[in-house]
């Protein structure tokens, strides 16, 4: 939950091809044809100095669900996050999925961002 507030701000009113795409933490309770759910999946690569952990790299998953082609949504998510200091982690992305029961295509994209601690933990 290190960057949830930043993500909420970045994706407020998020539109792709002039269509509003809801972005929610952990769960989306709606009926849009496309939406994104995000969550923190890992903290890794801690760095330290003087026997104290100075910071970590937080990894977040962005799960895109769409009834159709989600490539434009994925490209806009990547652009927005990269422009705000996030690094795409393609080795952590999921395979492409189709949930036959719901008709949603689903793909997870992973992004990382370092956070430096400002006080001793």
Residue 90 DSSP label: G
CB 59 within 8 A of CB 112: yes
- Supply the pTM of this predicted model: 0.87
Closest CA to 56 of 120, 3, 117: 117
Which residues pair with residue 66 across a beta bridge?
34, 105
d(CA 87, CA 26): 21
Homologous superfamily (CATH) of 4-116 is: Phage tail protein-like (3.30.2000.10)
pLDDT given for residue 121 in this prediction: 46
Task: Give per-residue pLDDT as tens, 3-54.
Answer: 999 999 999 999 999 999 999 999 999 999 999 999 998 877 666 677 777 7
All structural domains of the chain with their residue ranges = 4-116
Closest CA to 107 of 85, 120, 121, 88: 88
């Amino acid at each position: 939950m290190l960057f949830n507030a930043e993500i909420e701000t970045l994706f407020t009113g998020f539109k792709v091809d002039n269509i509003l795409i809801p972005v929610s933490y952990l769960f989306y309770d709606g009926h849009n044809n496309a939406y994104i759910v995000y969550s923190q999946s890992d903290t890794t690569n801690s760095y330290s100095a003087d026997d104290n952990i100075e910071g970590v790299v937080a990894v977040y998953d962005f799960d895109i669900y769409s009834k159709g082609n989600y490539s434009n949504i994925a490209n806009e998510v990547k652009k927005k996050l990269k422009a705000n200091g996030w690094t795409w982690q393609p080795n952590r992305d999921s395979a492409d999925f189709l949930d036959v029961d719901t008709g949603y295509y689903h793909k997870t994209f992973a992004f990382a961002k370092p956070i430096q601690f400002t006080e001793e933990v």
